Amino acid sequence: MRLDKFLKISRIIKRRTIAKEVADKGRIQINGLIAKSSSDVKVGDELTISFGNKTMVVKIEKIVESTKKEETKEMYTVISEESKSDESK
């Protein structure tokens, strides 16, 4: 499955166009390698996603073509989530 589609279906990022934009800016890595929105993801892959001041690492557990909101948490496991604090102040 394409990276941008996975991010939308899993609801990690709400809109596919935003997922595509974030990926194409080099803010997403799959298993440590910078990924494009068209990159394929598979079960077991580890995604590192940088949203502005927040970095999230998730492991893909399941891939489905469509899902209900309640079932999205089964698609991935959050390994870590960090916020970058403004240390200069």
Domains and CATH numbers, the chain: 3-83 (3.10.290.10)
Which pLDDT score is estimated for 85?
A: 64
Rounded distance between C-alpha atoms, residue 9 and residue 89, angstroms: 38
Taking a C-beta distance cutoff of 8 angstroms, is the pair 59, 43 a contact?
Answer: no
How far is 81 from 33, CA to CA, in rounded Å? 19
Q: What is the pTM of this model?
A: 0.85
Mean pLDDT score across all residues of the chain: 90
Mean pLDDT on 84-88: 55
Q: Which residues pair with 48 in a beta bridge?
A: 29, 57
The candidate with the shortest Cα–Cα distance to 10, out of 61, 76, 54, 57, is 76
Which residues are paired to 6 by β-bridges? none
3-state secondary structure of 24: helix
